[in-house]
Structure 1
């Protein structure tokens, strides 16, 4: 009995139950949308980059530009030289077609030409020799050759301005001289320019004065 009374008299200790853990709800962070102004600025910058003007001075000084122009000039020199040489033996066959068709001669695929460089070679040689300066037109080959060599080598091999002066003076003097000396021939040694100046000099100074 005493033991029972002791047990009943002992204070009851309250056992605390662990509180249930609260569930943590993870919330997704809202990603801020890019403002419309940022899109606009990016678009404006892109447009500005595209609208930037090409610096012509830098382009002209670029070594690649010089070599491209030099190569084109050398090819032009070779092209004119071959077409001029071929003109000696083909001028009678080709000039009648050029006279009849004019510039449409270049685009007529049915036209047969004898010039080694085709319709383009025949047209250029006719325009520069027959309608131009005669055999003095070979000076154009020299000029394009000088320009091409200087540009490709990127240094002053020949003086372009001195060569230009020689070509300008030579075209006039040679065309007139050849027209005067070979006026009895059908071949246009002096070209139309040489014939025109030669006829004017003969009318103004006479044959003796022109000679």
Structure 2
């Protein structure tokens, strides 16, 4: 049995989610918290009952999901975070992924997808729905055989997964901004992507970048 926590400031919703998770055969709910700080307090006070995975809302009072996920990634990396939010903005999705979230679900997700996502994160290490793929505007799927990345392109991808601007990446790589822009366009075209969030997801899935 995998241990699950739910962190959401909407009490009725968090209890409803907990009720759903309790119906899944290989998951048990060990904590329901109203914000990131409350959850972290539980983790620190219960070393023998820490969850394997946490369903984390993004925007909450006291401590939101991005800050809480960043803290967990640094201090308790064994606890996997699966974001569960109403936020569809690309920047928010990217922030959660960069913070260390292993997946991102919207709150209108069906029960069977929630169960699948929990299992995938625990067994495969990540899970991204078609909805998130749509949010990040992925254009076309390409097989791994079609994708050949050069060493400098991989270096660019690693930098692009951070919060550095493209100008800062250019300075880091000792290149002109125009050259870095060329790397960006080449990588996006090779991977069939339209933006930076999709690039981060690709990098995580392919072990190029580890949050």
User: Same fold by TM (over 0.5)?
Assistant: no
More strand by share: 2
Please give the range of the TM-score, normalised by the shorter of the 2 chains.
under 0.3
